[in-house]
């Protein structure tokens, strides 16, 4: 075990704020209401699923490795990526150390909503969803004329800009300082999430914090310093 391996990894959070409306699609619509519904829980609170979020982080990691010219298993940041996300074709036994949870609304807000819906019944589940989202409509335009095409009107529910989400990040095994630095870079490089990204939806600002919500800037600073010195 090398000196930079952390045997008790920190408990971190990935936080992001929507800079534009976003559709965290669940792959289906609601007949008579919307063609594309957002993911939301039983209380009407939207969330971004753990699997999709980890997939986006893995893609950001792949882009970073390409930009850094890290192509071989012997390369420093390639090894850090393998520690986080596993190697291509890896089994469950040697999967990556990173465990990503669902990105949900901040805990205090979720608690307040749950109390209002379950305890006081002062608000319904549908009202919760309506207060945090809205419906946007779009059509496909003709390439030749630029006019809206018939039978292409679609309604998509979107989570309102300004909404913040928090996802827990945990580690199943020991990780290296490099792995944490690379993870911070992947989080910082997130720019868009969800459906409709090519239409301006899902723009985000993302950052890493500790379990108490304090900025964990030291990991990104390490990445920037190490890359600059390479």
The whole-number pLDDT of residue 93 equals 56
The residue-averaged pLDDT of 61-90 equals 91
The whole-number pLDDT of residue 1 equals 40
The residue-averaged pLDDT of 5-27 equals 88
Q: Can you name the residues that pair with 22 across neighbouring β-strands? A: 159
Q: What is the pLDDT confidence band of residue 200, given thresholds at 50, 70 and 90?
A: confident
Which of 167, 158, 177, 157 shows the shortest CA–CA distance to 221? Answer: 177
pLDDT tens-digit map of 114-172: 999 998 888 999 999 999 999 887 654 444 555 444 444 578 889 999 999 999 999 99
Of residues 197 and 225, the one with the higher pLDDT is: 225
The residue-averaged pLDDT of 198-215 equals 90
The whole-number pLDDT of residue 213 equals 92
Q: What is the pLDDT confidence band of residue 30, given thresholds at 50, 70 and 90?
A: low
Q: What is the DSSP string of the chain?
A: --TTEESS---EEEEEEESS-BB-B-S--BTTTBSBPBPB-TTS-B-B-HHHHHHHHHHHHHHHHHHHT--STTSHHHHHHHHHHB-TT--GGGB-SEEE--BBS-HHHHHHHHIIIIIS--S-HHHHHHHHEEEEEE-PBPTTT-SBPTT--EEEEEEPTT-EEEEEEEESS-EEHHHHHHHHHHHHT--B-SB-GGGT--BEEEEEEETTS-B-HHHHHHHHHHHHH-
pLDDT tens-digit map of 76-91: 999 999 999 998 765 5
């Amino acid at each position: 075990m090398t000196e930079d391996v952390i045997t008790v990894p920190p408990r971190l959070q990935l936080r992001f704020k929507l800079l534009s409306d976003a559709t965290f699609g669940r792959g289906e619509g609601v007949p008579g209401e919307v063609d594309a519904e957002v993911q939301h829980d039983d209380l009407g609170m939207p969330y971004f699923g753990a699997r999709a979020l980890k997939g986006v982080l893995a893609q950001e990691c792949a882009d970073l490795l390409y930009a850094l010219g890290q192509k071989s298993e012997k390369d420093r940041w390639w090894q850090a990526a393998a520690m986080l996300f596993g190697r291509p074709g890896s089994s469950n036994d040697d999967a990556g150390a990173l465990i990503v949870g669902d990105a949900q609304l901040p805990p205090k807000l979720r608690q307040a909503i749950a109390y209002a819906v379950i305890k006081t019944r002062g608000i319904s589940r549908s009202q919760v969803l309506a207060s945090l989202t809205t419906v946007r409509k779009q059509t496909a335009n003709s390439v030749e004329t630029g006019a809206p095409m018939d039978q292409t009107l679609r309604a998509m529910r979107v989570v309102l800009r300004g909404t913040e989400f928090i996802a827990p990040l945990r580690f199943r095994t020991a990780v290296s300082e490099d792995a944490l630095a690379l993870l911070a870079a992947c989080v910082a490089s997130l720019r868009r999430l969800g459906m409709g990204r090519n239409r301006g939806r899902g723009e985000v600002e993302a950052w890493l914090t500790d379990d108490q919500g304090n900025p964990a800037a030291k990991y990104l600073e390490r990445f920037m310093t190490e890359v600059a010195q390479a």
